[in-house]
Amino acid sequence: MNYNFKRYAINGLIASSVILFCALQGCQSKQDPAAAASDKDKYVLPDSLLKTISIDSVGYSKVVNAITLTGKVDFNEDNVSKIYPMVSGNIQDIKVMLGDYVQKGQTLAILRSSEMAGYSNDLITAQTNVAVAKKNLEATKDMYKSGLASARDSLSAEASYDQAKASLEKAQRVLQINGGSVNGEYAIKAPISGFVVEKLATNNMAIRSDNNNNLFTISDLKNVWVIANVYESSISLINTGDSVNVSTLSYPGKEFRGRVDKIMNVLDPTNKVMKVRIVLNNPGYLLKPEMFANVMLNNTENKKLLTVPSSALIFDHSQYYVLVYKSPSDITIRPVQVSGAVGDKTYITDGLSQGEKVISSQALLIYQELNS
C-alpha cells in the first residue's frame, strides 16, 4: 500500500515538471522582438555595413498636417484677355492657330467691315470740313481788316473752324479705337503677349459687334491657378497662405510649389466641397489648363513632437520599432508610438528621447540580424 502511494507521488511530480517546462517554453515563444534580441548574444555591426548606413538624431519638429486634395489646372484669370469683335463684318484672314504664342499687338485676323468704311468716310468728311472752315476763316479775317465784314462775322467763322477741328479729332479717335484702317478693314490684334488658348473664329465667319461670344482668348501662362476641392472634414485645416505641393499625371515624380491664394467660403451644393485657389509659377509652360492635379497641403500647428526619418521605422507584430544606435555593439530594438507622418518625417509620441540616434537606412536588414 505504501509502495503504490510513493509511485503515484513520483508520477505526479514528473507531470507537474512537464507542465511547468511547457509553460516556460510557450512564454518564450511569445516574447516580443525587443526582448528576444536582448536574450541573444550581442550583435556587432560589421565595419563594411557601418560605412553604408545612415544614422540620424531624434529631434523636435513642428507638427505639420498633410492634407491631400484633388483639383485641376486653370487659367490665371487676372492674366487672361478675351477678345470680342468691336465692329460687324466678315472674317477674311485668320493668322494664328490654337496654341500659338503671340506678341502684344500682333494681328490675329482681318475683318472686312462696312462700319470701318463708314468711319473712314467720316474722317474724310471731317478733314474736308476743316479745310473749308480754315479757308472761310482766313477770308473773313481779310474782309474784317478791309472793313467788309463785321467782328461778329469773324467770330462766327472762327467758331465754325473750331467745330470742324473738333469733329476731325472725334473721327480720328473713333477710327483709331477701331484699328485705324482707312480701307474698310479691321485688324484684330493681341492686347497682351501669350498663348492662344481659345479660338472661336473661322474664315468667312460673319460677326456682329453685339455678339456675346469672344473670338479669341489669350493667356500668358507664366503662372496658373489650381482650383482644388476641400471636403467639410478638412475645412478647418485650410488657411490662406498655406504652402502646397502639386503633382500631375503628366509629370510623375515632379512637384510644383505654390500657395493657397483664396478660399471660396461657400460649399458647392452638388458635391458638398469648398473650392480653394492655388497660385503656381509655371516655368517652361509645363502646366496646361484642364490638367488633373493632386494637391498636398501642409498646415503647421503651434506644437512640436519628436521626429525620426520614416525610413527608420520597422513594422512587425502589429507594432512599430526603431533601432537605437549607441555603438556597433550596442544597438537596441525600441518599440515606439507613431502619431503620423508627413513626407519623409514621422512623428513619435512615446518610446524615444531627444538626442538619441536611430538607424535610418537598411534598418530592416539589421533588425532581422538582431532577431536571428
SS3 169: helix
Average predicted confidence (pLDDT) for the chain: 83
Question: In the numeric block, which cell numbers belong to residue 125?
Answer: 468728311
Q: What is the mean pLDDT of residues 220-238?
A: 89
Q: Is the Cβ–Cβ distance between 208 and 85 less than 8 Å?
A: yes
| 357 touches 53 (CB < 8 A) | no
Please write the tens of the pLDDT for every residue from 96-141. 999 899 999 899 998 887 777 777 777 888 888 899 989 888 888 8
Task: Give me the CATH topology for the region 67-78+219-302.
Answer: Elongation Factor Tu (Ef-tu); domain 3 (2.40.30)
CB 102 within 8 A of CB 199: no
In this prediction, what percent of the chain has a pLDDT beyond 70?
A: 87
The fold for domain 114-183 equals: Helix Hairpins (1.10.287)
Distance between CA atoms of residues 322 and 283, nearest Å: 41
CA torsion 273-278-307-338 (nearest 10°) is: 20
Instruction: Tell me the three cell numbers of residue 216.
Output: 479669341
Cα–Cα distance, 278 to 73 (Å, whole number): 9
Q: How confident is the model at residue 332 (pLDDT cuts 50, 70, 90)?
A: very high
The larger pLDDT score, comparing residue 65 to residue 347, is at: 347
Strands 330-342 and 345-350: antiparallel
Query: Cα–Cα distance between 358 and 334 in angstroms, integer?
Result: 10
Q: What is the pLDDT of residue 3?
A: 44
Residue 205 makes CB contacts below 8 A (sequence gap 6+) with 90, 91
CATH class name, domain 83-108+189-218: mainly beta
What is the spatial distance between Cα 231 and Cα 153, in angstroms, rounded to a whole number? 80
Kindly report the three-state secondary structure assignment for every residue of 113-129: CHHHHHHHHHHHHHHHH
pLDDT surpasses 50 at 27? no
CA–CA dist 198, 8 (Å, integer): 100
Residue 182, pLDDT score: 66
Residue ranges of E strands in the chain:
55-57, 59-74, 80-83, 89-94, 101-102, 107-112, 185-189, 194-199, 206-207, 216-219, 223-231, 243-248, 256-267, 273-281, 292-309, 314-316, 319-327, 330-342, 345-350, 357-359
Give the separation between CA 171 and CA 205, rounded to whole angstroms: 28
pLDDT band at 296 (very low <50, low <70, confident <90, very high): confident
Q: Which tens digit of pLDDT belongs to each residue from 153-197? A: 888 888 988 998 998 888 888 777 776 666 777 888 899 999 998
CATH no., domain 33-61+303-370: 2.40.420.20
Q: Where are the domains of the chain?
A: 1-30, 33-61+303-370, 67-78+219-302, 83-108+189-218, 114-183
Check whether 252 has a pLDDT greater than 70. Answer: yes
Residues with Cβ within 8 Å of 81's Cβ and at least 6 positions away in sequence, in order, are: 190, 191, 192, 194, 217, 218, 219
Asked if the model's pLDDT at residue 291 lies above 90, the reply is yes
142-153 pLDDT, tens per residue?
888 888 888 888
Higher pLDDT, 271 or 363: 363
CB atoms closer than 10 angstroms to residue 229? 17
- The residue count of the chain comes to 372
